[in-house]
Amino acid sequence: MIIPHGSDKLNPLFILDESKRKELIQEAEGLPSLVVSSAAAANAVMLGSGYFNPLKGYMNKADSLSVADAMHTTGGLFWPVPIVNMVEDASAIKGVKRIALRDPNVEDNPVLAIQDVEAIEEFSDDDMAFMTEKIFRTDDPKHPGVAAFNSVGKTVISGPIQVLNFSYFEKDFPETFRTAYQIRDEMEKLGWEKVVAFQTRNPMHRAHEELCRMAHAAVGADGILIHMLLGKLKAGDIPADVRDACIRKMVELYFPPNTVLITGYGFDMLYAGPREAVLHAIFRQNSGCTHLIVGRDHAGVGDYYGPFDAQKIFHDEAPEGALKIEIFEADHTAWSKKLNQVVMMRDHPDHTKEDYVFLSGTKVREMLSNGEALPVEFSRPEVAAILMNYYQSL
C-alpha cells in the first residue's frame, strides 16, 4: 500500500490508548481552555485522524506564511495551506504552556484536544491579506473561504496537540465517518493495493458515477474510495446526511459488491480550488489511495478559478516527487444523446453542447422542489427521489 505523506508510517494524533486518553480527559478539566473556531476544530479532527500526517499540531506564524507563499514549511515539508488555530483573543492563556481546546460545534463545548503552547503570535493585516490572496487566489469577501478565514481572528497559537475525540462526526455519521488509519485497515482487509479516490461535497449524479468507473478502469484499480466531506459548507449546499443517503443508494444499486468504500472525513470546506485540491491529494495519500480524481473546477466555487486550475497546480507548482499519489485528470462528464451514455467531453470533439444533457444546479433544485422527476440521463431515479424528499421538506 502507498506510504503516507512525509513519513514511512501513519502517525495519527488521536490518543488510541484508552487509559491514557481517560487520564488526559481528566487533566484537561483542570487546564485553562479556549473554545476554538470551527476551522481549528476541524483541523484537530483531521490531525487526530491521521489525514494531516506528518504534522504534529498547529503551525506557527513563520510556517503559515511560508506555506501560503511557497507551499512548504520552513523545514521544507510540502504542504498547500496553513493548518492553524487562530483566535481573536488569547489573553486568557497568556504565559500558559498547556491548554484544553473546546469544541464549538458540540453542546456544552466539551474538550476536543489538548495543546502544548509553543508560541502565541499575531498576524498583521498585511499578513492576512497576503495569505488570503495566496491560498484562495482572491481577496473577495464574498468568497466563502475568504470570509471564513478572515472571521476567526489574527492571533495564532502554535504547538503539538493530543486529540481526545472526533467532535460530532462519529456520533452523527457512525456508518460513514472514518479516520485515515481506519480506511487503510479496511483496504488491507479487502486486499486493495491500487485505489482511486473520489472527493465529493455533493450528491453523485450519473456523470459522477460514471467518472468513478472510468478512472477505476483506466488505472486498473482494485477499488474506489468515495470520500465525502462531512463538515461545514456554505449556505445552500446539500446537508451531509442527505448526501450520504444518496451515495449509499447509488452504490447499493449500481456498483458490484466490494468494489466501493463509502466514507467521510471531518473537515470544513475551504472552497480554495487549486490549493485545496493539493490538500485533498495529501490526505488521500495518507488514507492509502494511489490515485485521486481531479475534475473540472475541483474544490472551486463560483467563477473564482479556471476550470482546470486544480489540475495545473500539480504540474506547475508542486515539486516533482513531492507526492506519491497520482492524479487522474478528468474532463467534464455528461450524458451524450448521440451515444446514449455518459462520456468525457474531451474524448468527443464531434459533439456540440446540444448533444449533451446539461442541467444547472438552479434548474435541478427548481425541478425537485416542484416535484418534477429529473431526467434519467442526469440522475438515478432512486437518488433523485431522496433529493426530492429533501427539497420538498424545506
Of 21, 98, 201, 213, which residue is the catalytic one? 201
Phi, psi of 247 (to 5 degrees): -65, -40
Angle subtended by helix axes 381-393 and 361-369, to nearest 10: 70
**319 Cβ neighbours under 8 A, 6+ residues apart:** 78
| b/e sequence 170-193, b meaning 16+ C-beta within 10 Å | eebbeebbbbbbebbebbeeeebe
Paired residues of 57 in beta bridges: 160
- The dihedral built from the CA positions of residue 104, 239, 271 and 72, taken in this order, carries a sign that is positive
Distance of alpha carbon 169 from alpha carbon 244, whole angstroms: 13
Q: How far apart are CA 231 and CA 192, in angstroms?
A: 27
Angle in degrees, CA 181, 186, 189, rounded to 5: 125
List of residues 6+ apart from 258 with CB closer than 8 A: 190, 223
Q: Which of 11, 21, 202, 213 is catalytic?
A: 202
Sort 303 into a burial class: Cβ within 10 Å, 0-12 / 13-18 / 19+. exposed
For the chain, the residue count is 394
User: Residues near 90 by Cβ (< 8 Å), separated by ≥ 6?
Assistant: 34, 120, 155, 157
CA distances from 241 to 271, 301, 315, 344 (A): 20, 21, 35, 29
Distances (CA, A) of 309 to 272, 294, 312, 321: 11, 10, 5, 20
Q: Position 348: which residue type?
A: H
Residue 280: DSSP 8-state: H
> In the annotation, is 201 catalytic?
yes
DSSP tag of 7: S
**Dihedral of CA 268/261/295/290: which sign?**
positive
- How far is it, in rounded angstroms, from Cα 240 to Cα 106? 17
Active site residues: 201-202
